[in-house]
Structures are given as C-alpha cells and as structure tokens.
Amino acid sequence: MITAGLVEALAGIVGARHVRTAPAERVTYARDGLPTHRRVPAVVVLPGSREEVIAVVRLLAAHGVPVVPRGAGTGLSGGALADGSAVLLVLTRLNRILGVDPKNRIALVEPGVVNARLSVAAAPHGLYYAPDPSSQTACTLGGNVAENAGGPHCLKYGVTAQHVLALEVVLGDGRVVELGSPGGEPWGPDLVGLFVGSEGNFGIATRIAVRLLPLPRAVRTLLADFTSLRTAGEAVSAVIASGIVPAALEMMDQSCVRAVEDSVYAAGYPRDAAAVLLVELDGGSEAAVTADAETIQSVLREHGARSTRTAADARERERLWQGRKKAFGAMGRLSRDLVVQDAVVPRSTLPDVLETIARIAATYQLTVSNVFHAGDGNLHPNISFDGRVPGLKARVDAASTEIMEACIAVGGTITGEHGVGLDKLRYMPLIFDAESLTAMRAVRRVWDPEERVNPGKVVPVHACREWSGIGTRNAERGTRNPIAPSSSTFPIPTSALAP
C-alpha cells in the first residue's frame, strides 16, 4: 500500500522536490515512446544517486510496493509504465560518466547517461560506444541495458549485450549484486548476458561498465534507391551474400522517405523512390573500404538499384543518418497517432513479407510506413492513424496482430529490439508454449521472487496462471496481487546471486 507515510519516507530519502504526487506531474509519466499505452503511476521518485536508489528500493520492498524503473521514456513497448499501485523510479538524474579508461577501452557510467553523450565523451580518445539506437540522442544507457537495445550499426557490431562488461544491480529486495567484470567473465554462467534485455524484470542497474571501440578509420555511406519495394528487399540479401559485412544496412519505404524529407532532417532521399537503402561500410584502411564500397555499389546496381551515390563527406554522411534516425519521430507528420511494430523475419523472406504488410495495410485501409534494419531482417512497420476516429484503433490493433502473425508464419519472431513490455504480451503465446513461458517466469523469480520490479510485463501472467497455477495477477492491467514467494513452483534459492 502506498500511504502518506511512505511518500513522506521517500521524500526523506530523495528530498521532497524529487517526489512527485500531483496528478498533473504523474500524467507526464503516463506514456513512453509508444503513446498508445497509458498508465498513470501512483508516485514518481527521482533519486539523485545510487545510494538513494538503494534506499528507495529497500523502503518499497519493506512496504511490498511494486517499483518500475524508467530512463528517458523513449522505449517502444510500454515497458517503463507504472500503474496506480506502483512507484515509478526515474533514473535521469543518475547521469554521470564515472570514468573513461582509454587504455582498456572501458567506460563506467550511471544508468541515466544518454547514449550519444558517452560517444561524445569517448571521442577525444578516438573511441566510441557502438550500439546506436535511433533514439540515441535521448535514450539512456540504463534503458539500453534493460531492453538490450539495437540500432543500425548492430548489424556488424552486435547489440547492447555484446558491449556490456559488468553491472551493479539493485535487486527487488534492495540487495546489491555485482555481475560480470570489466576484465571479462569471472565465473561460470553469463549473468550479465542474462540481465541485459530483462526489461526491468530482474532489478535496476545502478552502474554499467561498457566496452568502447576505436572509431573506424575509414567510412563510406551509400544511398541506393529502388522503384520497387521487392527489388530493394532482394538487393538486401544480395549485399549480405556478397560476403562483405556492412556496418549498417537500412531500408526506408516511400511513405517514410517523404515524412523525413518534409522535416528538418531532410537528407536528400529521392521522394519518388519506392524504397531507399542506406549502406555503411567501415574498416581500418581507406583502400579496403573504398574497394568494398565499389563492390557493394555494383551489387546494388546489378540487383535493380535505380541510382546509387556515396556521401561526399562527414557532413553529408551525418545528414543521411540523421534522416534515418529521426524517421520515427517524423511519422507525426502523417497523422496524430502512431503505432510502431518491431518484428524479425529471416532476411531472405523480406521481399515477400513487405508485400504481405502492404496487402494487410490495404485491407485495413491504413497507412503503413516501413523504416527498418534490413540487414538483420528487423522490421519496423509504422501504422499512422487518428485515434479520435471511432473504431480506428481497433482496426490498427487487428492489422498489427495480422502483421505479427505473418512475420511469425515465415519463421520470424515478435521483437527485434524494442522488447515485449506491455505491448507484445499478447503475442508471446504465439511463439512460446506454456512450458517455455513458465520457465521464463521462473528465471525472473530467481532475481525477483515477489515479481515486484516492473510487474506485469514481458511474460503474460494471465495465460501463465492457467498453465502453471502460480499467481492471479492480471498482467494486462498490471493489478497487483501479491504472491508469497513460497507459492512458487520454482523455489530456486537466490543465495547464488548474493555478493
């Protein structure tokens, strides 16, 4: 129960001005980057240090109150939303870069550090942080860890999990554990790997050690445009088949290109193209990268590119990338409401899947814009609509589900990088059977036996209940119904996690 006494005690830890209880203030935290979901938290707390985070989590544990961690709120699955029974723990004030060790290429950061700021801080040492989600100018590294964030350049360099070396984590009961080691994995199973991508279900990272990479010495960015979506999809496979691994391989369709070209991030993409591909090549020497770029350019032309061009300088390269990375935000130009999907399909099926998506859009009479990580087969269909039109949201949901089912039918899965959160709970039973879901939940309970940290996310408990007999929580509403740890069918001791 959240009582006046608890709120007072929270204020005692973080200071009264960092505890938000007024309805208007809580309303501003009711959505993340996927605004179709809305939950108003009971209380918002903004701690200023790891010590305050620990004290807050311990206090909430003592009161049995659920806690939901949140970074910048740019997530795209409703993962950082808390309802009226929970406290939202906002980590934006923990934004210090604690150290950059250029010799060992390691940075130690607090969870509220904005992704792009770390690369800026590392740049004087000739280093950067590789995972670059499109929201990197806003999103935090803590959120990146929770979601195992991807980004265009993860095609070559891997997602967040490949770049996190060690973590300090506050568990739901307030105990602090250290996972991994900046020098490499010190013991047995990969607990860092387990934590990264846990969507706030396993605890709250308070310190993050990440790997930095040397800035590539040579970079070429190519823009190719196509008169059909299918040809562009086929060209993607051809690029990969060439044996050269691009740093990034991104696709945007016409609707997306036009939204970007109408915005301040206009990059000079041809507005009449059915699709454009953005291909980046990087490496240790100008000569090698130039040769690769020439090869890729001819592959693209052989596979139907109408034209290709190379960014002339760093400024043009930046412009081409800014257009791509801000494309999601530019969708607001098409309509006042937006749902972005996130699915992965085998790369070879891209041409067919894109056509299927177009067909679904036509059937439901919806505008779907595609902007995605083509090299990974990680699709992001964006559905634009006006939520004020009666019945339209239901149509959007139906189309979303159909798109997801089409992706699964060709051997794909329901999320590439945005996470499950709230939004994809309904799809989980489409790809996992009851036993798998039960096992996932059991793993979560190792870290958080009371399921008090970010409750009601990731694993659809309402379905799970029938299969496993544990819990009576309504995951869709996130209504809290405390479960005694002893009721778990998987009484795995947590002592293994103790420091």
The residues, ordered by sequence, that sit 6+ positions from 194 with a Cβ below 8 Å of its Cβ are: 202, 443
484 is a contact residue toward another protein (CB under 8 A): no
How near is the Cβ of 267 to another protein at its closest, in Å?
12
**Distance (Å, whole) CA 164 – CA 115:** 13
423 is a contact residue toward another protein (CB under 8 A): no
User: Judged by CB, which is closer to another protein: 382, or 438?
Assistant: 382
User: Judged by CB, which is closer to another protein: 37, or 63?
Assistant: 37
124 is a contact residue toward another protein (CB under 8 A): no
| The only residue of 60, 67, 68, 72 in contact with another protein, by rule CB under 8 A | 72
427 is a contact residue toward another protein (CB under 8 A): no
- In the block, residue with structure tokens 């590539």: 216
27 is a contact residue toward another protein (CB under 8 A): yes
In this structure, are residues 126 and 156 in contact, taking their beta carbons and an 8 Å threshold? Answer: no
| The only residue of 35, 84, 193, 216 in contact with another protein, by rule CB under 8 A | 35
| The only residue of 128, 328, 364, 385 in contact with another protein, by rule CB under 8 A | 328
114 is a contact residue toward another protein (CB under 8 A): yes
- Give the closest residue to 295 by CA, choosing from 360, 220, 192: 220
32 is a contact residue toward another protein (CB under 8 A): yes
333 is a contact residue toward another protein (CB under 8 A): yes
| The only residue of 50, 54, 74, 163 in contact with another protein, by rule CB under 8 A | 74
496 is a contact residue toward another protein (CB under 8 A): no
User: Judged by CB, which is closer to another protein: 392, or 463?
Assistant: 392
- In the block, residue with structure tokens 């709230």: 422
Question: Binding marks (x or -) toward another protein, 39..58, rule CB under 8 A?
Answer: -------x------------
Helix or strand run (H / E) with residue 445: helix 434-447
Segment interacting with another protein, rule: CB under 8 A, options 102-110, 130-138, 224-232, 352-360: 130-138
- In the block, residue with structure tokens 């693209």: 300
The encoded tokens of residue 488 equal: 């778990």
- Give the closest residue to 9 by CA, choosing from 211, 1, 351: 1
- The interface with another protein within residues 200-259 (CB under 8 A) comprises none
User: Parallel, antiparallel, or unpaired: how do β-strands 127-128 and 97-101 relate?
Assistant: unpaired
| Count of residues touching another protein (by CB under 8 A) | 45
User: Judged by CB, which is closer to another protein: 116, or 245?
Assistant: 116
139 is a contact residue toward another protein (CB under 8 A): yes
336 is a contact residue toward another protein (CB under 8 A): yes
- The DSSP string of 5-46 is HHHHHHHHHH-GGGEE-SHHHHHTTS--SSTT-----SEEE-
23 is a contact residue toward another protein (CB under 8 A): yes
Segment interacting with another protein, rule: CB under 8 A, options 227-235, 260-268, 291-299, 427-435: 260-268
| The only residue of 6, 7, 10, 29 in contact with another protein, by rule CB under 8 A | 29
260 is a contact residue toward another protein (CB under 8 A): yes
User: Judged by CB, which is closer to another protein: 2, or 345?
Assistant: 2
User: Judged by CB, which is closer to another protein: 421, or 449?
Assistant: 421
- In the block, residue with structure tokens 């445009």: 225
State the burial class of residue 413 (Cβ atoms within 10 Å of its Cβ: 0-12, 13-18, 19+).
middle
In this structure, are residues 290 and 222 in contact, taking their beta carbons and an 8 Å threshold? Answer: no
3-state secondary structure of 115: helix
Helix or strand run (H / E) with residue 62: helix 50-63
- The DSSP string of 119-187 is HHHHGGGTEE-----TTTTT-BHHHHHHHT---TTHHHH--GGGTEEEEEEE-TTS-EEEEE-TTS--S
447 is a contact residue toward another protein (CB under 8 A): no
Q: What does the chain come to in residues?
A: 499
The encoded tokens of residue 218 equal: 């040579």
| The only residue of 43, 82, 155, 327 in contact with another protein, by rule CB under 8 A | 327
Cα-based distances in Å from 241 to 14, 231, 244, 300: 55, 15, 8, 12
| The only residue of 83, 337, 342, 423 in contact with another protein, by rule CB under 8 A | 337
| The only residue of 119, 135, 370, 415 in contact with another protein, by rule CB under 8 A | 135
Site residues (CB under 8 A) for another protein? 20, 22-25, 27-35, 46, 72-74, 90, 92-93, 95, 112, 114, 116, 135, 137-139, 260, 262-265, 326-333, 336-338
